[in-house]
Structure 1
């Protein structure tokens, strides 16, 4: 069903990069001086890249540039670990946040979902169903929740200002398939452009085999 690329290799990890900075241009990303990602645009994810575990100097440049990086930082990548590394925040204070996509036991027939808050100007939120049932509560910018199991079906969810009934965003028709891990990422800007929205990729722990 899934590509043999993702079979276990000792001392390697899988990393995808997510451009979630709403006012940053497309970027090129270098790891220890070598190009890793080219022309990654806002709201886009790379595929999961298989890389050796270890310590990396990461430089992020506007696409096509090789001077004055907007990010110059270090990441430590553990073996047999799956990461989503998000470029987040406004351009003036952009940073890289590594989120682990953990390998977890899965109850057959269930779907597992979590929420990541990457909207710089949106306050702390509760993620709810339309009837007010809270899935995730009081999540702040640059925080990510644990996974929770849910029934696989089509959902409408709402982001509400934490502790209130004030709805910041309603997202209909979210189809969640069984035996999968998903993260609901909130990106963009509340009341400004680019607008607040969610992206719901399939996480690598759904199919990468360690």
Structure 2
């Protein structure tokens, strides 16, 4: 299946379906199906593999011709990736999002934000008291990690240009020594609606 030496260290990847309006998909890696029927806003589990160059194809579930995505991807030694299927139907792409270890985080949670909502303008993410966590985040952009004390938080998304509140998430729980990515997905004025996904990064528990 792999195209380089079997001695290469292990890498990890998972697939995120973040293409609003696109039906369930299957993931094929080097011609072998590794995930079936992944629905919008869902993640697969992480897959482990040796590092190397892989052919990645994403098909509508049950199909093996006319892939939605057909690309090659290099997984570097020891890396962890979320591979996001993004874009509107007819303009679908794959965005590899690396999950690096941001450094020791004793007594803190590490959090970043990724804007994967097509057609949605640049965003600021803030707390209910107005403190901004991330600013001026454009579509496909991945922010740096920030430290937050563990606990329960409400967060809001506003448009950078005119401070219009477009999403309120009343409660998220962040735990110490955990690493999170907040993914914005969906449509600002359409279906499925704008929402956030907040899974643990694999760098919290893999390697």
Aligned-partner Cα distance in 1 for 2:99–2:136: 21
Out of 73, 81, 84, the position equivalent to 2:82 is 84
Out of 153, 174, 178, the position equivalent to 2:176 is 178
Q: Counterparts of 1:96-135 in structure 2 under 5 Å?
A: 96-135=94-133
User: Are the counterparts in 2 of residues 126 and 163 from structure 1 also a CA contact under 8 Å?
Assistant: no
Segments of 5+ residues of structure 2 without an aligned counterpart are 1-6
User: Are the counterparts in 2 of residues 17 and 46 from structure 1 also a CA contact under 8 Å?
Assistant: yes
Out of 155, 159, 166, the position equivalent to 1:157 is 155
- Give the match's secondary structure for 1:72: strand
- Give the match's secondary structure for 2:119: coil
Look up the match of 1:4: none
Runs of 4+ in 1 over 3 A off after TM superposition: none
Aligned-partner Cα distance in 1 for 2:150–2:114: 20
TM-score by length of 2: 0.94
TM-score by length of 1: 0.93
Residue 145 of structure 1, CA deviation: 0.5
Segments of 5+ residues of structure 1 without an aligned counterpart are 1-8
Q: For each residue in 1:65-95, what CA deviation from the matched residue of structure 2 results, as whole angstroms up to 9, or x when unmatched? A: 1111111111111110111110001121110
Residue 107 of structure 1, CA deviation: 2.7
User: Are the counterparts in 2 of residues 155 and 174 from structure 1 also a CA contact under 8 Å?
Assistant: yes
User: Are the counterparts in 2 of residues 188 and 194 from structure 1 also a CA contact under 8 Å?
Assistant: yes
Out of 25, 28, 31, the position equivalent to 1:30 is 28
1:50 and 2:48 correspond:
yes
Q: Which one is further off, 46-55 or 161-170? A: 161-170
Q: Which one is further off, 76-85 or 163-172? A: 163-172
Q: For each residue in 1:80-117, what CA deviation from the matched residue of structure 2 results, as whole angstroms up to 9, or x when unmatched? A: 01111100011211101001100232231100000010
User: Are the counterparts in 1 of residues 122 and 161 from structure 2 also a CA contact under 8 Å?
Assistant: no
Q: For each residue in 1:2-35, what CA deviation from the matched residue of structure 2 results, as whole angstroms up to 9, or x when unmatched? A: xxxxxxx952101011000011110111111111
Question: CA RMSD for the aligned pairs?
Answer: 1.2
Aligned-partner Cα distance in 2 for 1:56–1:208: 21
Look up the match of 2:72: 74
Residue 164 of structure 1, CA deviation: 3.4
Look up the match of 1:136: 134
> How many aligned residue pairs are there?
201
